[in-house]
A and B are shown apart, each in its own frame.
Chain A
Amino acid sequence: MNCRYVQSRLSAYLDFELSGDEQQLIRSHLEECIECSCEFESLRRTKQLLRQMPIVKPRTGPEQVLLRVRQAQPATPRPAWGIRWHPPRAWQYAGGFALAAAILFWGRSADTETSPMTTASPTTSYFTPASNSLLPTVAPELSAVYRPYAPNLFRRTAYPMTEPSLLPSVSYPMDPMLGYQPVSEWNSIPSQPKFIETPR
């Protein structure tokens, strides 16, 4: 422990703001080192002088402050997340519609012959009847099959199972190692749950 280190910590030592060990080390150094103890003494005296400074009395009372405070309005409380609610602006409506449209049209790209971006018109929505000429005519029976409106990217999905499990009486075919449907099969038809007979 050198003097330079000790002198940098003298104020903290004076205020008892060091750990017990450090406090002890500096105390033992001060007993030996004249220079450091002189420095410490002057700092102690400075603190002592400051502590003896009188409390200054204000010329006016708190009434003056309160009088001005009465005229001021308190700030309206803000919610914790720091955003004030307001009715949606026009661009926010537009953004909302765009987002909803994007979600609705997500799964359609493989169904139609052309990209949904180029054929985006009210007639290509899911609410159009099956007789719409834009729907695929290659396999008409498929268009009657249920398709999810917004296939979730992380949807747990059906996947051909190698062998039926015996434990549950109703088993959904699923590859336990895969978990998620491969991208290439996002638009494939989910297979129906299989009902398996279990021995009683």
Chain B
Amino acid sequence: MTHTAVAQSMDDRLQREFDELVYRHYQQAYNLAYRLTGNAADAEDLVQEAFLRAYRFFERYDRSMPFMNWFSRILTNLYIDEYRRRGRLRTVSIDEVYSGEDGEEGTTMDLPDTAPNPLELALSNEYIHAIHEGLQYLSPEFRIAVILADLEGYSYEEIAEITKTSIGTVRSRIHRGRKQLRDQIKKRHPNLFERGDLK
């Protein structure tokens, strides 16, 4: 076996491993990107870009760490970079009437198909939109911390590792982020915070 043949088989092995990881984590990665960016088009770009970067630096991936932890770091870093590059992230209201590329007007934004899982029907669409929009009000650092903790279920230690900050910073970001989010949701749907179980 020549050196190039060895390298080739090595590449194939890595390639297969990477493909498998993409298939396994694509859904979760997209979900994270969607909650961060707030709209489907940006989420697709972000996921695409993050997987591309992950592939380019796959050599450096430490196998002792879960792939999603490593990948979340790439994705959140990319998101922060993009956010700073644009200055202020363009937020799109879901209800906003927009004009498509071909000039047709009056259509509303097509939202991605949310899973019709009976367990998840506990929240009505109205509330989901309120929370989703509330998330967009947070600053990117707070949003990342809250989303990683409450939507992705990471521990504070993992979030500190992903965002390369201290646990104290993570704790404060999550706390302040949740408080800001609560105030935002409360403005539109105060009934969500009345006593009693969720409807």
Contacts and interface: CB of A to CB of B under 8 A. Distances in A.
Given A42-B193, A43-B178, A48-B198, A55 B51 contact: no
Contact of A72 (B55, B127, B174): B55
B182 A15 contact: no
Interface stretch (A4-12, A109-117, A183-191): A4-12
A194 B1 CA distance: 61
A153 interface: no
Interface stretch (B72-80, B81-89, B93-101, B146-154): B146-154
Contact of B115 (A12, A48, A54, A68): A54
Contacts of A9: 175
B128 interface: yes
B175 A69 contact: no
Contacts of A64: 48
Nearest to A58: B30
A88 interface: no
Interface string A72-93: 1111010000000000000000
18 contacts: A9-B175, A12-B174, A43-B182, A47-B150, A49-B185, A51-B151, A53-B35, A54-B123, A54-B128, A56-B30, A56-B112, A56-B114, A58-B112, A69-B55, A72-B55, A74-B11, A74-B58, A74-B59
Contacts of A74: 11, 14, 55-59
A65 interface: yes
Interface residues of A, number: 38
Contacts of A11: 171, 174-175, 178
A57 B27 contact: yes
Given A11-B171, A72-B56, A46 B181 contact: yes
Interface of A: 8-12, 15, 17, 41-43, 45-62, 64-66, 68-69, 72-75, 77
B193 to A, nearest CB: 5
B26 A58 contact: yes
Contact of A60 (B44, B57, B115, B185): B44
Contact of A50 (B120, B151, B156): B151
Given A11-B174, A42-B182, A42-B193, A75 B27 contact: no
Interface string B1-40: 0000000000100100011001100110011001100001
Contact of A54 (B11, B47, B114, B185): B114
B19 A43 contact: no
B179 interface: yes
B175 A8 contact: yes
Q: Which 8 pairs across A and B sit closest by C-beta, in order of nearness?
A: A50-B150, A62-B26, A11-B175, A58-B30, A54-B120, A77-B59, A46-B182, A75-B56
Contacts of A73: 56
A15 B152 CA distance: 13
Contacts of A51: 150-151
Interface in B150-192: 150-151, 155-156, 171, 174-175, 178-179, 181-182, 185-186, 192
Contacts of B120: 52, 54-55
Given A50-B151, A53-B128, A72 B115 contact: no
